[in-house]
């Protein structure tokens, strides 16, 4: 019987087969579904509903001393440890509430149980959650059922639209400021606390207390010295790029700014100021049209308002009518906000018809100071910086919101 010799393929042929197999093979995952895609890096959340629950206290221990040459040693059960607190800490390195979008349930660890030899259970460390500076915490109430409370759901599915705001808890306006959102339960007592002359071998103990829990609304109101308010394509983002180190997106179409962006302006004598670029407003923004209504709350903390108008009317718009509409939208959203000091920034002075429109604007609003600039060519940037420093010097620092006063706020989805 003749044995057949099996011919091995050459190295080049084997490499070709490997490449062909890799081309035909299908990936076992979808790149779009991965949690670390670039989309998640651009999510801006300034209002979120969360459920927080502090840790439960540890259970007390039932134990008796058992040692050689020590008859009837007596009870020596230790107490349980304290449950962990849920603490909110304002951090200037956090700019939005997007972390709570993926983890809306905040739970602290439970305390350790007591042990023999009067050993105390381990107390749980506090759950410290970092939030942006300027976060306001509201107490929310849900008509929860026993099943929902047992499961610990962040939002009951059947009562999602029945939430109500009961109180304003705290306004975190300073970096490093902390607030105990939910306190942990105290630990239970061991049987050593129940001994007496009549009860020398107690077997009683107490369970640890439940930690505080509840639903809360976290709302971010950006803290800035000045706020840029204007129609889309008025040049707010370009202006912010020229006077600060911020780099907002700039494009030739409206609503390129989808969330507030903060820029820092440097003044002489080592002074600085923060400016917030708010997404463009349109007529009817106070009723929820466009993107402005969602972010108008961010200018409620601004000391002054800077209305940026396209003074050249490059998009067939009238700058005087635009400014009047913006003032009306601010007044309809919050009458107290319209009483803040405000100034006019006439942008796009390098385009034709800008001089003529500027004279008409100054004649219409003769009592309001105006800064004529061209953000594209950097015309008037130094003068604007000096005027901005002078304007901010006239206005005192804003005060934090009083927890005793509750503003009207919607808790809908």
- The domain limits of the chain are 42-220, 226-393
Q: Which fold has domain 42-220?
A: Spo0b-associated Gtp-binding Protein; Chain: A, (2.70.210)
Whether 194 contacts 61, CB under 8 Å? no
The span from the CA of 286 to the CA of 306, in Å, is 18
Lookup result for tokens 């042990």: 115
Cα-trace Rg, the chain = 32
Pairing of strands 127-132, 86-91: parallel
- pLDDT truncated to tens, each residue of the chain (413 aa)? 444 455 555 554 554 544 444 444 444 333 333 333 333 445 678 889 999 999 999 999 999 998 888 888 889 999 999 999 999 999 988 888 988 988 999 999 999 999 999 999 999 999 999 999 989 999 987 655 444 444 444 443 333 345 567 788 999 989 999 999 999 999 999 999 999 989 989 999 999 999 999 999 999 888 788 988 888 888 888 888 888 887 777 766 666 667 778 888 888 877 888 888 887 676 655 555 555 556 777 888 888 999 999 998 887 788 899 899 888 888 888 888 888 899 999 998 988 888 899 999 999 998 999 999 998 888 989 899 999 999 998 887 766 666 655 444 443 43
Pull the structure tokens for residue 15: 């490499």
Name the helix (H) or strand (E) containing 388: helix 381-393
Question: Hey, do 42-220 and 226-393 end up sharing a CATH topology, with the first three levels equal?
Answer: no
The span from the CA of 112 to the CA of 231, in Å, is 58
Nearest Cα residue to 47 out of 227, 193, 221: 221
List of residues 6+ apart from 22 with CB closer than 8 A:
none
Q: Which fold has domain 226-393?
A: Rossmann fold (3.40.50)
Name the helix (H) or strand (E) containing 220: strand 213-220
Question: What's the helix, strand, coil split of the chain in %, to 5?
Answer: 25, 25, 55
């Amino acid at each position: 019987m003749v044995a057949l010799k099996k011919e091995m393929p050459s190295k080049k042929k084997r490499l070709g087969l490997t490449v062909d197999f890799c081309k035909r093979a299908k990936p076992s995952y979808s790149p779009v579904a991965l949690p670390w895609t670039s989309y998640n890096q651009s999510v801006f959340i300034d209002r979120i509903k969360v459920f927080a629950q502090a840790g439960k206290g540890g259970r007390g221990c039932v134990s008796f001393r058992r040692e050689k040459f020590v008859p009837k040693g007596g009870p020596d059960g230790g107490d349980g440890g304290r449950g962990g607190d849920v603490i909110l800490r304002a951090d200037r390195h956090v700019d939005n509430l997007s972390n709570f979008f993926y983890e809306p349930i905040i739970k602290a660890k439970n305390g350790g149980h007591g042990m023999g030899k009067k050993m105390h259970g381990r107390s749980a460390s506090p759950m410290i959650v970092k939030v942006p500076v300027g976060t306001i915490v509201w107490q929310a109430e849900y008509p929860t059922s026993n099943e929902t409370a047992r499961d610990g759901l962040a939002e009951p599915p059947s009562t999602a639209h029945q939430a109500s705001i009961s109180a304003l808890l705290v306004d975190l306006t300073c970096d490093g400021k902390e607030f105990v959102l939910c306190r942990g339960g105290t630990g239970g007592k061991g049987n050593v606390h129940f001994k007496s002359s009549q009860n020398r071998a107690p077997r009683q103990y107490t369970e640890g207390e439940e930690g505080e829990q509840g639903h809360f609304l976290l709302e971010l109101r950006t803290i800035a010295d000045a706020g840029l308010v204007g129609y889309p394509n008025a040049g707010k983002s370009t202006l912010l790029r020229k006077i600060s180190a911020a780099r907002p997106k700039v494009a030739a179409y409206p609503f390129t700014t989808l969330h507030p962006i903060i820029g820092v302006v440097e003044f002489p004598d080592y002074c600085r100021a923060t400016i917030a670029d708010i997404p463009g407003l349109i007529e009817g923004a106070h009723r929820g049209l466009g993107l402005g209504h969602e972010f108008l709350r961010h200018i409620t903390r601004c000391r002054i308002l800077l209305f940026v108008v396209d003074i050249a009317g490059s998009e067939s718009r009238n700058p005087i009518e635009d400014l009047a509409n913006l003032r009306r939208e601010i007044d309809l959203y919050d009458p107290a906000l319209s009483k803040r000091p405000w100034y006019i920034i006439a942008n796009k002075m390098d385009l034709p018809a800008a001089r003529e429109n500027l004279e008409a604007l100054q004649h219409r609003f003769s009592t309001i100071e105006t800064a004529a600039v061209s953000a594209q060519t950097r015309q008037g940037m130094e003068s604007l910086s000096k005027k901005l420093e002078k304007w901010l010097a006239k206005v005192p620092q804003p005060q934090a919101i009083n927890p005793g006063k509750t503003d009207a706020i919607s808790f809908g989805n």
